[in-house]
Amino acid sequence: MVETIVLKAEKREQAGSRYSRKLRKQGLVPAIIYGHKTEPVAIQLNYHDLALELQHHHRLLDVELDGAQEKLLVKDVQHDYLGDKVIHVDLTRVNIDERVQVTVEVELRGTPVGVSEGGVLDQINTDIELECLVTAIPESVRALVSDLKIGETLVAGDLELPAGAKLISDPTTAIATVSVVAEEAEEAEEAEVAEGEVEPEIIAKKAEEAGQGESEK
């Protein structure tokens, strides 16, 4: 696990989209701190440092503002229209013994036995909702899919969660499944239909020939 760094924050002097664009050009990201019944504080953070923390799935950040350091939880991250760059972040104050609900990424591990049988692994949902201590937010939840056979599905309730974490998502939520490729399934169905169509024609033809034979007698 990559250790978190202390993000240096400064209060924003102005607000508005034009000023925010100016900050981004300077390598800064506008953000806001709220929560715990205190007035929201508009701040700016170094883009590179913040992006690095988010890249490593860190949800609890150490932020220093006006010489005071506090832990802040990432509540919302806004990206540009391409989904590449962070353009704004919402942060909330938390207590270190507080339990919070967070969205955590699910990482698939292993190669399903169904894949060797001709199936294809498909990840249906990439994240789940958990409740855990704010100091124990996992970077991700690993899902072992090695035992999945064709037609089988791994659901949220099958996942092994970190100690102390509680699943908030519906336990029946599908995470990953192994299935036959659609084209192959269609070809198999067409082959079955074709086989089923041949037999009646042959039977009818034989019956007709038998009838002709009797009439000739």
pLDDT at 119: 94
Q: How far apart are the first and last CA of the chain?
A: 92
| Average pLDDT for 176-180 | 94
- Position of tokens 């599908």? 174
* Mean pLDDT estimate for the chain: 85
What CA dihedral angle connects 95, 99, 105 and 109, to 10 degrees?
120
pLDDT mean over 45-65: 92
- Residue 96: what pLDDT? 85
pLDDT confidence of residue 31: 94
Q: What share of the chain is helix, strand, coil (3-state, %, to 5)?
A: 30, 40, 30
Residue 187, pLDDT > 90, answer no
Written as six digits, the tokens of 33 are: 């701190």
Q: Where residue 14 falls among pLDDT bands split at 50, 70, 90?
A: confident
- Residue bearing tokens 């958990």: 130
The whole-model pTM stands at 0.69
pLDDT (tens digit, 9 = 90+) per residue, 140-157? Answer: 999 999 999 999 999 999
Triad 69, 72, 75: Cα angle to 5°: 160
Average pLDDT estimate for 117-128: 95
In this structure, are residues 37 and 29 in contact, taking their beta carbons and an 8 Å threshold? no
- If pLDDT is split at 50, 70 and 90, which confidence band does 81 have? confident
Q: pLDDT tier at 84 (50, 70, 90 boundaries)?
A: confident
Range 35-41 average pLDDT: 85
